[in-house]
Amino acid sequence: MQIYLPIAEVSVNAFLLFGIGGLVGVLSGLFGVGGGFLITPLLFFIGVPPTVAVATGANQVVASSISGVLAHLKRRTVDIRMGIVLLAGGLAGSAVGIWVFNLLSRLGQIDLVVQLTYVVFLGLIGFLMLQESLRTMRRNRTGTAPRVKRHHHTWVHNLPLKMKFRASGLFISVIPPFGVGAAVGILAAIMGVGGGFIMVPAMIYLLGMPTKVVIGTSLFQIIFVTGFTTFMHALTNQSVDLMLALLLILGGVVGAQIGTRLGARLNAEQLRVLLALLVLAVCGKIALDLLLEPGELYSLAKVRS
């Protein structure tokens, strides 16, 4: 069944869109990533113009994140207090990020910068996560007791403004989470994504939050960051396609529920290996696009009025 998208001005298969939304929704519920880094390239691939794909992708991420968060709330795996601190940092960061984005677009090389940031960050995070989780899995298999370092005191613990994050079982300063939120916010605005795939590992490795709480908390703050992005795109570029968004959302919300329930059955280490492999696969695809000679050297772009 073909459907005409009023803003994108292309006609695409409705079931294909439903499928893409569903796939990304499952990943969203499973890993706590918004899926923006996956949905945007997929939409390019089926012929949706880049500006529409980025803005509408953000809208879809809002819906699947809400669906995911509600499922996590019922399992009490959302640290709302931590989420709010991260979000405050995130909004401050994305304001800076939007400024950097505009500066780079004026210099004319935004596409390249975005692609390079994707390759560097996805590659780095994917590799680190894969290495770490494989090591843990091997250790568990050989039977040696894992070294649990829950309370290793570093300079982080001497910072002021300490706050109790009960759901995460942490008593730390708000400065590290705020900083993580801000850093992710900057990157998210430049890369046009929610930033879950950076946020999740940062919360596990930098803040020492338990994996169980990380996903729900990440989704919680993604709702607001992508909501803000969607609204800004609708306001400045009029590039949100509601018809496209609704089809993706229909698939996405269903997928997110399935993903969350699937996530409850898998163990944390397996989840991490899967996410690491996924991140590395997307990274590899983008790197190949940059390195291999494209089939068509020329591309068309609408003149911004």
Partner 1 sequence: MRWLSAIFLLACALPAAAQEEVVSGLSQDRISITANFEGSDLLVYGAVKREEPIPDTGLLQVIITVEGPSGPIIVRRKSRQFGIWVNTSSVEVDDAPSFYAVAATAPLEYVLSQTEDLRHKISVPQKIRSVGAPQDVMDSPAFTDALIRIRQREGLYASAESGTHLKEQTLFSATFDLPANLVEGNYTTRIYLLRNREVIAQSQSAIYVRKVGIERWLYTLARDHPALYGALALFLAGLAGWAASEAFRALRR
Beta-ladder partners of 173: 162
Bridge-based pairing of strands 170-173 and 2-5 is: unpaired
Q: Which two tokens stand for residue 213?
A: 């709480």
**H or E stretch including 5?**
strand 2-5
Identity of the residue, 52 or 130, whose beta carbon is nearer to partner 1 in the bound complex: 52
Residue written as tokens 């709010």?
84
Identity of the residue, 57 or 201, whose beta carbon is nearer to partner 1 in the bound complex: 57
DSSP 247: H
Rounded to a whole number of angstroms, the minimum distance from the CB of residue 91 to partner 1 is: 16
- State residue 164 phi and psi, 5-degree precision: -95, 120
214/236 Cα distance (integer angstroms):
33
Q: Which two tokens stand for residue 103?
A: 């500066």
Rounded to a whole number of angstroms, the minimum distance from the CB of residue 24 to partner 1 is: 14
Residues 198/125, Cβ–Cβ less than 8 Å? yes
Identity of the residue, 106 or 149, whose beta carbon is nearer to partner 1 in the bound complex: 106
Identity of the residue, 125 or 254, whose beta carbon is nearer to partner 1 in the bound complex: 254
Kindly tell me the burial class for residue 40, based on how many C-beta atoms sit within 10 Å of its own C-beta (0-12, 13-18, 19 or more): buried
278/34 Cα distance (integer angstroms):
13
Identity of the residue, 155 or 298, whose beta carbon is nearer to partner 1 in the bound complex: 298
Rounded to a whole number of angstroms, the minimum distance from the CB of residue 120 to partner 1 is: 13
**Site residues, partner 1 (CB under 8 A):** 1-4, 6-7, 9-11, 47, 59-60, 62-71, 74, 109, 111-112, 227, 230-236, 238, 240, 242-243, 245-246, 249-250, 252-254, 256-257, 289-294, 296-303
Residues 61/28, Cβ–Cβ less than 8 Å? yes
Identity of the residue, 112 or 159, whose beta carbon is nearer to partner 1 in the bound complex: 112
| DSSP structure string for 155-211 | GGGG-SSEEEETTTTEEEESHHHHHHHHHHHHHHHHHTS--HHHHHHIIIIIS---H
Identity of the residue, 130 or 250, whose beta carbon is nearer to partner 1 in the bound complex: 250
Rounded to a whole number of angstroms, the minimum distance from the CB of residue 279 to partner 1 is: 20
Rounded to a whole number of angstroms, the minimum distance from the CB of residue 125 to partner 1 is: 21
Rounded to a whole number of angstroms, the minimum distance from the CB of residue 197 to partner 1 is: 20
Rounded to a whole number of angstroms, the minimum distance from the CB of residue 305 to partner 1 is: 9
